[in-house]
Amino acid sequence: MIDKLVIVESPAKANTIKKFLGGKSKVVASMGHIRDLPKSKMGINIEKDFEPEYINIRGKASLINSLKKDAKDAKKVYLATDPDREGEAIAWHLAYILGIDPESICRVTFNEITKEAVKNGMNNPRKIDLNLADAQQARRVLDRIVGYKISPVLWKKVKRGLSAGRVQSVAVKLIVDREEEIEKFIPEEYWNINLMVSDKKTKTKFNCKFVGKNGEKIELHSKEEVDSILADLEKAKYKVVDVKKGERKRNPAPPFTTSTLQQDASRKLNFALKKTMSVAQSLYEGVKLPEYGETGLITYMRTDSTRISNEAIEAAKEHIIKVYGENYYENRFYKTKSEAQDAHEAIRPSHIELTPELVKDSLSADQYKLYRLIYNRFMASQMASAVYDTVTVGVDGNKYNFKANGQTMKFKGYMTLYVENEEKEEFEKIPELEVGEEVKKENIEAKQSFTEPPARYTEASLVKTLEEKGIGRPSTYAPTITTILLRRYIEKVQKQLIPTDLGRVVNKLLVENFGDVVNVEFTAQIEEEFDKIAIGDEKWKKVIREFYTPFGKTVEKVEKELEHVTLTYEESDTPCEKCGRMMVIKYGRYGKFLACPGYPECQNAKPLIETIDVPCPVCGATVQIRKTKNKRNYYICEKNGGIGEGCYYISWNKPKEGEKFIPNNDIDKEIYEQDKKKSKKNPTKKATKKSSSKTKKVAKKTTKK
């Protein structure tokens, strides 16, 4: 007979918890969800007040039978799934499968998997929080309705197999809108004047920037303005007119929330969101350490709270004073944003004594990097501010005003461990100066610049924007971005997120026909409704009813309006060699391709070859752009017929006008041979794939070189 049966979500978590439970306890894993909506149909009975039709997940029958057997043999069953809405929903489904009354005391949670936390959780079981489970259920049902109602419209008007998601569609819209901003951006000219001077005592040189004239700020937008000022300054004498000394403090950032962890891991470690959450999950569930066994290293990683427990604050204080000294410690409390869910602490190390270096040999490279980031950020959050001595010097010449800023670090404080963002502003090393002192002009130069368009989103900046706008929640950011990348609505190029042609077409259709679904404010409002359900202030079916009434009417209206509308395609200048019609540009999974508009009578299709304006540096013919499997561009002459046949030009690098080409025979030959094999395949959907035919081996080989 089993004394206590504890059901968690993963085997790793089960292994860690086992060692803390004595007696005849047994810990098993549900392997995530065991019940869900069916994949083959919507699974929501709209006529019966949106009742979900849950089924046991295919392939989990033997696991379910095993759980039932263990539950039957146990005196008491505890459902110890993750401490969030998703975990609460899994516990609710487990209770249904195992015949456990959700109103019974059967639910335990652990914010961190330590002996104390597990013991505390087991000593304080509770009922299943049906409000939390309903909040997850509401999200699942609403997202299923949106997907199943809008996706068929995309199938009819764009391409079969496409799908639309509520949060994903808003994320795509943000990326498309940003790209359109960039395309419409008109650069504006501006100038800076930099004055290099030196003091006469020490001969130390420092740079001053032009700020204005007679105490008034002036912005420079033309060469004529700049030339006029430079002429006025030609014989000017320069004097120090102002010296201000001060002290500047720089405070540490709060410990990580889910979104700030994802942002920093992206910026500092180059981790994709999905990878960050996967590695963090493994650190939370536990890793095997010598002398400790299976040990959870961090607290729960899905949280938007910056709250820290008193025990963690005391442990951090003791460690900081011991390692760095009392002047490095400063007791700090961080206020959680009013809209945040404060069920969990911030993400922090579970055991302060387990420093990154101490556990390094037991972790994978990625685990070590992320654990060090989390550990150092938390410890820094409890340390003293960094302190700088600052000086600002005003220098005038012929009534024109220049300014120099300097700073030196006086006390490193928390920056001993962690720096959130590196200093962007450059500071000069400025000598001791006095007001009225004359300085010598060493050099003066003007620099022309142009304003730049807004930056494209990265995974980190998109997460930040989604959080700021109240779209989604910590657990949704990674799957949202992963999904729209997999659907090829966007692509990632050197960390930047760029909409594909397919993404633009889908976004245009959704914006024009389902405005609310891709509306930022409306999506944020729905999230607030989910939050109200979670605390019991709203009923989940009422929220779904209020959403579906206008949404259902919109779907019916759009279906009627688009019934006789055919999506028009851009016509190319290439005739179909089978029937003579001018081929059109269509969008496939791998981007643009040419197709005969006579489909289905004529099913001719072939890849759309992109070209550049610069001629082939070898023979002067047209250069084509093709792509490897990992979407890296390479360039090839249209007359390249193979090794030893026609022009031999092929290169990773875009050719420049008049540039001499020196082939790298090994790499170029390998690129060509791989491309040649793929070019013989079917030129429809697979033919568009031809441009992605290079192997990872080639890319890796080039990277190494």
Catalytic residues: 300
- CA–CA gap between residue 128 and residue 222 (Å, rounded): 68
Question: How many H helices and E strands in the chain?
Answer: 20, 28
Residue 174 one-letter amino acid: L
Give 514-565 as a DSSP string: -TTTT-HHHHHHHHHHHHHHHTTSS-HHHHHHHHHHHHHHHHHHHHHHTTT-
Q: Rounded to a whole number, what is the largest CA-CA distance in the chain?
A: 98
- CA–CA gap between residue 518 and residue 659 (Å, rounded): 47
Percent composition of the chain: helix, strand, coil (DSSP 3-state, to 5) = 40, 25, 40
Structure-token pair, residue 69: 């057997």
Instruction: For the chain, give the number of residues.
Output: 705
Structure-token pair, residue 85: 């809405």
- CA–CA gap between residue 62 and residue 34 (Å, rounded): 11
- CA–CA gap between residue 127 and residue 501 (Å, rounded): 50
Which neighbouring-strand residues pair with 395?
A: 240, 402
Treating both helix axes as pointing N-terminal to C-terminal, what angle do 130-157 and 540-561 enclose, rounded to 10 degrees?
Answer: 0
Give the rounded distance of the alpha carbon of 246 from its chain centre.
Answer: 38
Q: Which residues, 6+ apart, have CB-to-CB distance to 556 below 8 Å?
A: none
First to last CA, the chain: 63
Structure-token pair, residue 653: 């690098």
Residue 101, sorted as left (phi over 0), alpha (psi -120 to 50) or beta, turns out to be: beta
Residue 293, sorted as left (phi over 0), alpha (psi -120 to 50) or beta, turns out to be: left
Nearest of 655, 652, 676, 673 to residue 664 by alpha carbon: 652
Asked if 654 and 635 count as a contact pair (C-beta separation under 8 A), the reply is yes
Helix (H, G, I), strand (E, B) or coil at 642: strand
Helix (H, G, I), strand (E, B) or coil at 5: strand
- CA–CA gap between residue 399 and residue 240 (Å, rounded): 12
- CA–CA gap between residue 349 and residue 359 (Å, rounded): 12
Q: Is 160 exposed, middle or buried (0-12, 13-18, 19+ CB in 10 A)?
A: exposed
- CA–CA gap between residue 323 and residue 616 (Å, rounded): 63
Give the rounded distance of the alpha carbon of 248 from its chain centre.
Answer: 32
Give the rounded distance of the alpha carbon of 452 from its chain centre.
Answer: 23
